[in-house]
């Protein structure tokens, strides 16, 4: 009997995205990535919000067109309320409010981090959804968290970074090596050709299930400075080995904490999300965990794992049935917690 269409809108960082979901199935998933930041080696908040402002209407229009529906057929508008960059969030929030008001349909606020986790519940042929409770590790350029998920909206952050996100560790290391931004994919590519044990970087000691990546970045910087002083061609001559060693260290940090989290909670269903889950090293490590520790692991399709609006739409869909709607004066929140 249900026949629900929901539009999801995501604008928390540097991707303007819109998606239409119909009863848990994604009909369209449109994303406009902002190339402008590459030249700056990182996201420039002011430029990001301006680009969102330009992209938001065309992106939503395309999402509706690809889904082959008219906006009048929508039942609700779901949007990312936070966390993220305030100037970026404001664009999606204001647009979503106006559209919901104009169409006289409910507005649904979505936590971006819950979106990354609930992306696992998008209907996908051949994809097994994780059973509750499971552990979700969200790893991207903006976040690094381990979350215990007991139900759709019963989540507890049990570990998170105390400084840089893991994607930043990849990107900042890449910057030291002279690689372009974002450097994660290139480090991954080169790591496959190098020796992961060529150079040793010490892992940070952080209590409990929390992470720290800023020390690693400094260690890599000092190491490179020292080696290039002795041999100006050190980077060129050893780039694949350096990348492999950095990646090996980072994956080691992630997997150590996952192992600890699984042991402490007794939960063996492990899901990952966020841009860094594209990394071949982490994917292999999860596969190894299935054999070594009896884990069952869940890695969604790439387009649902980087920042996207399909994950916002699925949360909107789940909230729609609870009538969990936002007030029309809801405010974007840069530091929104799960
Ligand atoms: O989820 P995402 O697209 O955006 C947010 O940061 O929210 O993640 C982007 C991050 C960047 O830091 C990028 O370097 C990293 O994901 N990344 C990777 C790989 N692909 C993307 N890091 C390591 N290996 C990869 N294959
Ligand atoms: Zn994200």
State ipTM: 0.98
Confidence of residue 40 (pLDDT cuts 50, 70, 90): confident
Confidence of residue 42 (pLDDT cuts 50, 70, 90): confident
Residue 102 contacts by C-beta under 8 Å, 6 or more apart in sequence?
A: none
185 lines ligand 1 (CB under 6 A): yes
Confidence of residue 1 (pLDDT cuts 50, 70, 90): very low
Pocket test for ligand 1, best of 41, 144, 167, 273 (most atoms within 8 A of CB): 167
Q: What is the CATH number of domain 5-120+305-320?
A: 3.30.420.40
All CATH 3.30.420.40 domain ranges of the chain, comma separated, are 5-120+305-320, 129-299
Closest listed ligand to the CA of 34: 1
pLDDT number for residue 38 = 86
Q: What are phi and psi of 21, to 5 degrees?
A: -115, 140
Give the CB-side neighbour count of residue 291, counting CA atoms within 13 A.
4
* DSSP collapsed to 3 states, 184-209: HHHHHHHHCCCCCCCCCCCCCCCCCC
Ligand 2 centre to CA of 224 (Å) is 30
**Span 129-299 CATH architecture:** 2-Layer Sandwich (3.30)
Average pLDDT over residues 47-76: 97
pLDDT number for residue 281 = 97
pLDDT in tens, 117-172: 999 999 999 999 999 999 999 999 999 999 999 999 999 999 999 999 999 999 99
SS3 category, 105:
coil
138 is in an annotated binding site: yes
pLDDT number for residue 34 = 85
Average pLDDT over residues 265-294: 97
pLDDT number for residue 39 = 84
Torsion over CA of 35, 36, 41 and 43, rounded to 10 degrees? -90
Average pLDDT over residues 229-236: 98
**Contact between 322 and 106 (Cβ < 8 Å):** no
174 lines ligand 1 (CB under 6 A): no
Q: Does the structure show a pLDDT above 90 at 294? A: yes
251 lines ligand 1 (CB under 6 A): no
pTM: predicted TM-score of the whole model, two decimal places: 0.95
Q: Does the structure show a pLDDT above 50 at 73? A: yes
Pocket test for ligand 1, best of 182, 244, 282 (most atoms within 8 A of CB): 182
Q: Does the structure show a pLDDT above 60 at 37? A: yes
Average pLDDT over residues 193-215: 96
Q: What share of the chain in percent tops pLDDT 90?
A: 95
pLDDT in tens, 300-329: 999 999 999 999 999 999 999 999 999 999
């Amino acid at each position: 009997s249900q026949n629900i269409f929901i539009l999801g809108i995501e604008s928390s960082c540097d991707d303007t995205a819109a998606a239409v979901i119909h009863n848990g199935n994604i009909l369209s998933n449109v994303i406009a990535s902002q190339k402008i930041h590459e030249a700056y080696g990182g996201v420039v908040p002011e430029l990001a919000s301006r680009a969102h402002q330009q992209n938001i209407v065309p992106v939503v229009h395309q999402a509706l067109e690809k889904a082959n529906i008219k906006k009048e057929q929508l039942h609700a508008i779901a949007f990312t309320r936070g966390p993220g960059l305030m100037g970026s969030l404001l664009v999606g929030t204001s647009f979503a409010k106006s559209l919901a008001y104009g169409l006289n349909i409910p507005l649904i606020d979505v936590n971006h981090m819950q979106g990354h986790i609930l992306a696992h519940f998008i209907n996908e042929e051949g994809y097994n959804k994780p059973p509750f409770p499971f552990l979700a590790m969200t790893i991207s350029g903006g976040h690094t968290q381990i979350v215990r998920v007991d139900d759709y909206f019963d989540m507890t952050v049990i570990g998170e970074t105390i400084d840089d996100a893991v994607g930043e560790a990849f990107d900042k290391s890449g910057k030291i090596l002279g690689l372009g931004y974002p450097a994660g994919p290139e480090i991954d590519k080169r790591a496959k050709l190098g020796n992961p044990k060529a150079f040793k970087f010490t892992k940070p000691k952080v209590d409990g299930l929390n992470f720290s990546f800023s020390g690693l970045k400094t260690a890599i910087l000092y190491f490179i400075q020292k080696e290039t002083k002795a041999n100006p061609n050190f980077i060129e001559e050893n780039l694949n080995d350096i990348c492999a060693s950095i990646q090996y260290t980072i994956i080691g940090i992630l997997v150590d904490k996952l192992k600890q989290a699984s042991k402490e909670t007794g939960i063996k269903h492990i899901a990952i999300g966020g841009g860094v889950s594209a990394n071949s090293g982490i994917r292999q490590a999860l596969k190894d965990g299935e054999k070594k520790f009896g884990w069952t692991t869940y890695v969604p399709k790439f387009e649902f794992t980087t920042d996207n609006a399909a994950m916002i739409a699925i949360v909107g869909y789940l909230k729609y049935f609870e009538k969990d709607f936002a007030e029309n004066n809801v405010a974007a929140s840069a530091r929104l917690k799960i």
